[in-house]
Amino acid sequence: MVGRRKNPADNWMPPRVYRGRSKYEWKPKGGKVTPLRKLPADGKESEAVKRDVWKAYDQAVMAVQRRETMAFVIDLYFASPQFKRLSVRTQQDYKRYQGAVVRVFGNMEPKKVKPPHIRKFMDVMGEDKPVTANRHHSFLSVVFSWADERGIVDGNPAKRVKKFLEQSRERYIEDWEYKVVYEVARTSPYKYIAAMMELAYLCRGRSSEIRNLSETDIGDKGIYLARTKGSDDELTLWTPRLQAAVDFARSLYPEAPAPMDRPLFRGRTGARLLDSSRKTAWSRIMKTALTTGAAIDGKQVILKERFTFHDIKAKGISDHKANESGHKSARMKAVYMRKLKEVEATD
């Protein structure tokens, strides 16, 4: 029992729970009245009625407590129009970051999360995965900025915490390395990876940009590539090699149903290729390239060092005669230039 009341018959009730006109009501101090359960029609408060009231009370208390946690604020952000306007890839990334953030901050009151808390979270994760820690930092910062604008918190503590310094990748794929992985892909069950490699190289595109190509992007002059992350869209003009890559992609699963958006890369059912499928296929192809290799000019050649699918874009930009990348800033363009610049000696 919680405490004595004026009417001893009410001592079984939870704190601040009273009989209303038709229901038992919880009236927390400074909070809204929450109905819990209908009053018994016969006026008899049986043990079953009392259990129902206590159960409803516990659930109401937990709901209020949850509304004062970071986990609840993150759920609110995910339900917001601002979140829904983000790209599908960004939404997926944020959902993935949610797990680690909620495990650490989920039960904390948002206003009590301070820069030292975020710094410790970053240091623990960043010891082995500095880039991953930076991505979680960005997610936290977005959530706090959104909450700050709505009066849920006062300021954004993440802005006062520095990210880890990230080193740009410098891996340049040599021509023979590209050939090995391409041949492994072309003779594997995942032939579409070979076609994607060619288009990523020739159009200098990200995996998501290539994977999302549709027949409507393929025109008389070339391939229209809708770039992401603020880069400029681009039309890559036809060459025999580019046409061959498109023809190869079209030759895969020719009997698959053609949906309205007519994706260039699709599975046996006609549905657009999932990024998770591409990642799995790439991982298996890379493993084969590193262990078995492929026949190049009559000789079995094994890849010595792995590279990422994203490195193919960098190779395409580095090998392009004008180093076209679609990036608006010289700084971002420099990130993808992996070849050492050659200059003539001073006369």
pLDDT per residue as tens digits for the range 287-326:
999 999 999 998 999 999 999 999 999 999 888 876 554 4
**Range 277-285 contact pairs with CB under 8 angstroms and sequence separation of 24 or more:** 278/193, 278/196, 278/207, 278/211, 278/309, 281/188, 281/190, 281/192, 281/193, 282/193, 282/309, 284/188, 284/190, 285/181, 285/184, 285/185, 285/188, 285/190, 285/193
Rounded mean pLDDT, 277-290: 94
Cα diameter, the chain: 107
pTM assigned to the model: 0.56
- What residue spans define the domains of the chain? 8-66, 70-160, 175-335
Kindly tell me if the per-residue pLDDT of 83 is higher than 80. yes
pLDDT per residue as tens digits for the range 100-120:
999 999 989 899 999 999 999
User: Between 198 and 340, where is the model more confident?
Assistant: 198
Q: What is the pLDDT of residue 113?
A: 94
- Average model confidence (pLDDT) across the chain: 85
Q: Do the beta carbons of residue 311 and residue 173 sit within 8 Å? A: yes
Kindly tell me if the per-residue pLDDT of 3 is higher than 80. no
Query: CA 295 to CA 177: how far, in whole Å?
Result: 12
Rounded mean pLDDT, 252-276: 81
What is the architecture, at CATH level 2, of domain 175-335? Answer: Orthogonal Bundle (1.10)
pLDDT per residue as tens digits for the range 165-202:
877 678 899 999 999 999 999 999 999 999 999 999 99
Domains 70-160 and 175-335 share a fold: no
Query: CA 59 to CA 40: how far, in whole Å?
Result: 20
pLDDT per residue as tens digits for the range 39-77:
888 888 888 888 888 888 877 776 665 567 898 899 889
Q: What is the pLDDT of residue 227?
A: 78
The fold adopted by the segment(s) 70-160 is: DNA polymerase; domain 1 (1.10.150)
Q: How far is CA 310 from the centre of its chain?
A: 16
Query: CA 173 to CA 310: how far, in whole Å?
Result: 11
Among 211, 190, 181, 196, residue whose Cα is nearest residue 268: 190
Kindly tell me if the per-residue pLDDT of 329 is higher than 50. no
